[in-house]
Structure 1
């Protein structure tokens, strides 16, 4: 390798070194000291996926059906692995060959993906390092990592590669553009996190429309059609690799809470159609002014659990109440957090901070970049802001919710700003590229002064006039009450202290942003005046940007948050768990000790009636709201009314299957009331795995069906909605020797043996799902019917029989094959483009050498 080649390759090696080094420094507690983040979403995922992970280890295939939560549901969106051949290697490479379970790889992939985007836009490779670090270290990315939003972080990062590939296509770099767009889309769809994909489509649409407008103006329509055709082919090929994921997601969505509602809404509910409840979907809507946290991170208090800082009003107040030593100990042990956030959202882990310098550079870029570049980027940023405002911009967002296909399946619209946080540093680096590496005249530089006036002026305005803002929060009194009890005076003093801190922190951050913007402007000015080299300018601006973001990021993800083996601590097996696990039969557990239907820790060891999942099955959610929660309350009421009994098993609600009919039909054999062994209550009225009933009660609608569950005896009758299923015999002769036993169980295959002198209707404590499940009696296929709103039932002829349920959904079987084949095509496309580029580079240099030799 000659010196020229080494010099050309050097910045790319340096980029990788920087990415690894910054990742290692930030995550040294994880990568060096062996600690991990107790990420809330990851801990929940470990609980919800444990059942499926164990199945995969034992059987070597995906479980597809998860019996660990909500009495059973499709595992499609939880832990279903889809074979995609060589794409696994590509994914591993983009994550720096780091273990997929580490948080560090999330930061690395963010750096690398954005670096590729900037290279596609022909940004200087050294400057591109700065841009990549700016993107990777924006506070939203760090907060997502801290919370364990893994698939979201991946989807955001890989979106950058898609945009890079599109840009190359529109600049007539067809081979590389096609390859990167295809591979980028393949990676972006792989996690999957389709809400980010949806927002990416918006941005790509604006990009494409912009290119079409300029093509029409410049009479390049034929060129646009050619580019558009190649882009469409890349989208089809890249999208085809997600066939299985999209297919199973679409299939399941229809039956999830994001699908069509079947019941008349309860009082206070607004949802009666398809998709999420509108109020729920827009609950995480960002306030319009809150968007300025891009510039001043503490503008709205930062996060809902801010670390208490020494020297604040709240610190002094706690010192006066508990003493300095005690207060410092609470801070050291991370035992106290301040709800400083006072924006429109219910709560937030931290602000969306792009970086003060990035904001300045973005405004500068809008003034100096060519129209073809700046208009679509500005349009993308503004659109993502409007989407993130949600219910605070109802005419726009409610229109999208009501009329755009699939839009009503998403919530937490504030995450749309993740795409704005991608476009801003992209535009900013293009502006720096122009300033540092191109000739800049005086008129152009004046626009830099305007950008300084706008962003610096805003920072100054917040610093001076920010006190006019409302720093109160409706939840402040409740927080104060938890600290001091029912003491109105102390509650008032604490809330006033928090409001004073919010104002003080905001002013300090505004001043800090102003100083950073001034420093960046001064550096660029010296480069413009030729008093500072471009390379040194890149270095200084880079240090300022990284230092700024690093400082803010450490407010939310710092070393003390890492801990040794958080999985073992959070999912520690209790004495109650040990007592229940002695039972080797197939049963379910209802955990009364926690938030039954919003926690997945129970599922780590048991098959749970509850669980945690943002896309529960619609009918099971209906059952929770209208039947299971009232039955829980009935159980608690029985506890309160019968305190004199010496044994919980004597509770009246445990004397008959009809007292808690839904819990009994779901095979809730154990009630976990606490963590010690004595807190485990055996429910002797559970119906077990399957049973014969004496009668079938018919109703004419879902409303009637679920209403009938409130008072019925599951041991004697079943309830069927004849508007959806055809009822056969409705009365059955049930002899005393009739039995049905579960002889073999796994997630995808259940085998029962029956003995009955008469034909009967068997009810199974398994959730009915119409796609993928098949049933046979002695090898002969039979139709599965739904009874009791959520359960399976079969009509079984007289005699001894073997019943087999199997779960082999076509969507997975066929979809995974298509995914595997197209993944190989995408991989071969990338390899082919790399090989061709290498060949052209080699032959081109060889020809130049021959020309030089012949001229001598």
Structure 2
């Protein structure tokens, strides 16, 4: 008999409980993937903000970008030839590669090579030039999210910090003006902070071994992040990064000494940071050592000749103080933290035309130093609630203040001058305002503490009345700002502009007082002033909104998530509102047109295809231009654009003047490319098209014999060039006696270039005696070696900027090879450091995995080995 099954009525669950269950399930799913969602928001925000470049193929065609793009053909040629380019022959009579352009990754630096290869494949930079830089913004944002989440243990605060740091106006503007190496220098900095803080926290835990697998992994990853940052080759940005980290560690050490708390952990962290930094530098030793050697001979490492001989400026630094501090922020411009338009900025569109409305202390600027009014008030909140009790907040506050004062440069030089006069190599840096990038990072972190404090106060139900009073203060500030916007301050604003450096510049350009007044009334007031009034109202509204959200959260009217989400939205809208005004996209055709075929370059290449036998010089308005465009066409140019030229080249241009016919002749210039007719009879017109081409009537081949030599002081030689009172074929000027008899060459003496490439020049020479052979190639004491029939020969500095050799009688093969020993030494160090880092990383990962496997098998996971 079958077993009878009792029928039971199905139990009907409460519909509301079913709904609640679904909500709970969806919430658990959300929380499970919360990190991925927020990282996706960061990535999506960056892609949307730069959508014109990502999806429409638009570009930024600024001067700095075009200057860099000029070397695309050079890098392509080097890559096809399997050559890693150490020398660039196309500008300034040649100079080392590393300070000039980005370069193909070195395969022996295999950590960076792997990273760059993978990154290049993802971004496909050959079809979209801005995408690789845009994704570095995403890396910065994601790194900031990971760091802030570790710091605050709150994902929404981490999202807030990531977005506000990524969209700080000055940081966004770097891609617009083509300062891409600064973006790379910043991209991995949040991850550097993350791994440093992990080491600090690990060493503070006495239960963990100093050389635990976790610490080895964090050490290796810290070294790797520092190494990728170093590959930006932006030494000034890297210096500021290390300065921030150094102040941070030093402050924590001092704090613990004063408070008599555990100091061993922070000391160990500092030692591990030094080890990581040394590893990073060693991995980049080939580049760093070469640049350090070159710095001795560049205009950033050696004073100009006029500074050497003039006692009044005998103590001058490698970079003139005025030049180094041109881009100095000023105390008055601090107001742009609140009102970004107050001082105006460049490339503002007025009736369809770009105009520069900036009237502050700097020569010009394309953007305000704005990091967000919401970030500002929350940073003040973070300092207000945490400064007394939190050493990290104290350290970030000190960094913010010190960096702000350093950015003032010559406008308030108390701190800046200490670094300029006493810190090694600091005098080689320029643009003090650049340090704002790291000041902004510190301020964003402080604002994260502001949000954290608000949440802790509300959750802990402590000090809530004080928090409400703070909200009232913010309401009051917002009200005052709105009131000022209604009343206005046009009179005082006009007076400030009228007495500003802009007015002085206009006076120097010949403008009358009436014209200056008219310019201020027609350009500055309707735009910069009017936008400042709009900023006052809009930012008052934003502050009131955030203060309202804070007050509602403090009184339990809204949840913490609504408070944080609303704050994030307002902060991002605030930054995007300003940032979009600084974005000036160009069609891809703008860059293509810059390097399109031209009638004059075609004529030059057809008439003289062997470009190693002559140089060109570009004139615009009768003056040497400062761009690298001719390099794209593989034409060797006497002029170019870079901030760290070889010192002797700059001296020659400064003293003898760049347009001097004799200097151009010494520089091997055969043709002048000019935008208008030249009056100088030293040149004869040979082509007329979109530009004029003039041939140098006194052109001397780039290798020629001199009848003899004279020994003179360096300044005397330059003065002789300036006065054009000698024939280089008759006499060569040396700065020291070579103590050799020089024979005058006869008519059968000859020299012919048989091979020219990036790193070498080869000549067939027939000398009729002990002849002095002069080469129109820049003299550089390191790297270049000369060989006569395979035997090394001494290179003599000649005519201040050139090279010469003494060639014995007979037929010879003469070679110049660029073989900087310091590079090859650095290459060996780099390979060794890469191997060492690989060993440390593998030991950490393998040890951690093995330990975890053992722990899992025993069911006892060791907490101190969690990463």
Compute the TM-score of the two structures, normalised by the length of structure 2: 0.84
Q: Which of the numbers 331, 337, 342 marks the counterpart of 2:359? A: 342
The equivalent of 1:591 in structure 2 is: 618
The equivalent of 1:399 in structure 2 is: 418
In structure 2, do the counterparts of structure 1 residues 73 and 812 end up closer, same or farther at CA, with 3 Å as the change threshold? same
The equivalent of 1:528 in structure 2 is: 554
Bigger Cα displacement from structure 2, 190-199 vs 445-454: 445-454
Q: CA deviation at 1:232?
A: 2.2
Q: CA deviation at 1:689?
A: 2.0
The equivalent of 1:324 in structure 2 is: none
Q: Distance in 1 between matches of 2:166 and 2:416?
A: 29
State yes or no: 1:673 paired with 2:697: no
Q: CA deviation at 1:777?
A: 0.7
In structure 2, do the counterparts of structure 1 residues 123 and 395 end up closer, same or farther at CA, with 3 Å as the change threshold? same
Q: Distance in 2 between matches of 1:739 and 1:813?
A: 35
In structure 2, do the counterparts of structure 1 residues 774 and 693 end up closer, same or farther at CA, with 3 Å as the change threshold? same
The equivalent of 1:61 in structure 2 is: 83
> Aligned to 2:769, what secondary structure does the other structure show?
coil
State yes or no: 1:576 paired with 2:600: yes
The equivalent of 1:709 in structure 2 is: 721
The equivalent of 2:159 in structure 1 is: 129
In structure 2, do the counterparts of structure 1 residues 776 and 4 end up closer, same or farther at CA, with 3 Å as the change threshold? farther
Q: Judge conservation of contact 2:330–2:411 (CA < 8 Å) in 1.
A: yes
Q: Which of the numbers 424, 436, 450 marks the counterpart of 2:455? A: 436
In structure 2, do the counterparts of structure 1 residues 12 and 574 end up closer, same or farther at CA, with 3 Å as the change threshold? same
Give the number of equivalent residue pairs. Answer: 787
State yes or no: 1:622 paired with 2:651: yes
The equivalent of 1:364 in structure 2 is: 381
Q: Judge conservation of contact 2:616–2:638 (CA < 8 Å) in 1.
A: yes
Q: Judge conservation of contact 1:24–1:31 (CA < 8 Å) in 2.
A: yes
Q: Which of the numbers 756, 763, 766 marks the counterpart of 1:752? A: 763
Bigger Cα displacement from structure 2, 269-278 vs 344-353: 269-278
The equivalent of 1:697 in structure 2 is: 710
Q: CA deviation at 1:418?
A: 0.8
Q: Judge conservation of contact 2:741–2:770 (CA < 8 Å) in 1.
A: no
Q: Distance in 1 between matches of 2:237 and 2:826?
A: 22
State yes or no: 1:45 paired with 2:62: no
Q: Which of the numbers 145, 148, 156 marks the counterpart of 2:178? A: 148
In structure 2, do the counterparts of structure 1 residues 678 and 215 end up closer, same or farther at CA, with 3 Å as the change threshold? closer
The equivalent of 1:16 in structure 2 is: 39
Q: Judge conservation of contact 1:41–1:147 (CA < 8 Å) in 2.
A: yes
The equivalent of 1:610 in structure 2 is: 639
> Aligned to 1:573, what secondary structure does the other structure show?
coil
Q: Judge conservation of contact 2:733–2:800 (CA < 8 Å) in 1.
A: yes
In structure 2, do the counterparts of structure 1 residues 534 and 842 end up closer, same or farther at CA, with 3 Å as the change threshold? farther
The equivalent of 2:94 in structure 1 is: 72
State yes or no: 1:415 paired with 2:434: yes
Q: CA deviation at 1:180?
A: 4.0
Q: Deviations over 1:413-470 (max 9, x none)?
A: 0011111111111121233234336734442662574487379638945746754341
In structure 2, do the counterparts of structure 1 residues 46 and 118 end up closer, same or farther at CA, with 3 Å as the change threshold? same
Q: Distance in 2 between matches of 1:787 and 1:486?
A: 45
Q: Deviations over 1:461-511 (max 9, x none)?
A: 5746754341335546988999xx999867643421334233322122122
Q: Deviations over 1:344-389 (max 9, x none)?
A: 1110001011101100110011022342121100000001101100
**Within 5 Å, which residues of 2 pair with 1:50-199?**
50=72, 52-79=74-101, 80-83=103-106, 84-90=109-115, 97-99=122-124, 101-102=129-130, 103-172=133-202, 174-175=215-216, 177-199=218-240
> Aligned to 1:297, what secondary structure does the other structure show?
coil
Q: Distance in 2 between matches of 1:271 and 1:340?
A: 38
The equivalent of 2:735 in structure 1 is: 721
Bigger Cα displacement from structure 2, 419-428 vs 470-479: 470-479
Q: Judge conservation of contact 1:285–1:390 (CA < 8 Å) in 2.
A: yes
Q: Deviations over 1:32-81 (max 9, x none)?
A: 2222221321111122x346414413321222111110111111212344
**Within 5 Å, which residues of 2 pair with 1:253-652?**
253-261=295-303, 263-265=305-307, 270=313, 273-301=316-344, 303-308=345-350, 327=351, 331=352, 336-369=353-386, 370-436=389-455, 439-443=459-463, 446=466, 449-450=469-470, 453=473, 457=477, 460=480, 463=485, 466-467=489-490, 468-469=492-493, 470-472=496-498, 473-475=500-502, 492-501=517-526, 502-558=528-584, 561-582=585-606, 583-585=608-610, 586-593=613-620, 596-605=624-633, 606-629=635-658, 631=660
Q: CA deviation at 1:267?
A: 8.4
> Aligned to 1:592, what secondary structure does the other structure show?
strand
Compute the TM-score of the two structures, normalised by the length of structure 1: 0.86
Q: Deviations over 1:530-579 (max 9, x none)?
A: 33222222221111111111111100115xx2312432112233211111
> Aligned to 2:412, what secondary structure does the other structure show?
helix
Q: Give 5+ residue unaligned stretches, structure 2.
A: 1-24, 204-214, 676-687, 863-867
Q: CA deviation at 1:201?
A: 2.4
> Aligned to 2:658, what secondary structure does the other structure show?
helix
Q: Which of the numbers 48, 65, 70 marks the counterpart of 1:25? A: 48
The equivalent of 2:285 in structure 1 is: 243
The equivalent of 1:656 in structure 2 is: none
Q: Looking at CA atoms only, which structure, 1 or 2, has the larger radius of gyration?
A: 2
> Over aligned residue pairs, what C-alpha RMSD do you find?
3.1
Q: Give 5+ residue unaligned stretches, structure 1.
A: 309-326, 632-659, 852-856
Bigger Cα displacement from structure 2, 462-471 vs 505-514: 462-471
Q: Judge conservation of contact 1:358–1:425 (CA < 8 Å) in 2.
A: yes
Q: Judge conservation of contact 1:94–1:112 (CA < 8 Å) in 2.
A: no
Q: CA deviation at 1:677?
A: 6.6
Q: Deviations over 1:302-327 (max 9, x none)?
A: x122122xxxxxxxxxxxxxxxxxx5
Q: Judge conservation of contact 2:467–2:554 (CA < 8 Å) in 1.
A: no
Q: Distance in 2 between matches of 1:291 and 1:271?
A: 35
Q: Distance in 2 between matches of 1:230 and 1:353?
A: 35
State yes or no: 1:682 paired with 2:681: no
Q: Distance in 2 between matches of 1:602 and 1:409?
A: 28
> Aligned to 2:497, what secondary structure does the other structure show?
coil
Q: Judge conservation of contact 1:574–1:676 (CA < 8 Å) in 2.
A: no
Q: Deviations over 1:173-195 (max 9, x none)?
A: 64564244322211221101111
Q: Judge conservation of contact 1:480–1:495 (CA < 8 Å) in 2.
A: no
Q: CA deviation at 1:8?
A: 6.1
In structure 2, do the counterparts of structure 1 residues 196 and 850 end up closer, same or farther at CA, with 3 Å as the change threshold? closer
Q: Deviations over 1:735-755 (max 9, x none)?
A: 101001110000101100001
In structure 2, do the counterparts of structure 1 residues 393 and 493 end up closer, same or farther at CA, with 3 Å as the change threshold? closer
Q: CA deviation at 1:223?
A: 2.7
Q: Judge conservation of contact 1:257–1:621 (CA < 8 Å) in 2.
A: yes
Q: CA deviation at 1:685?
A: 2.0
In structure 2, do the counterparts of structure 1 residues 728 and 460 end up closer, same or farther at CA, with 3 Å as the change threshold? farther
> Aligned to 2:740, what secondary structure does the other structure show?
coil
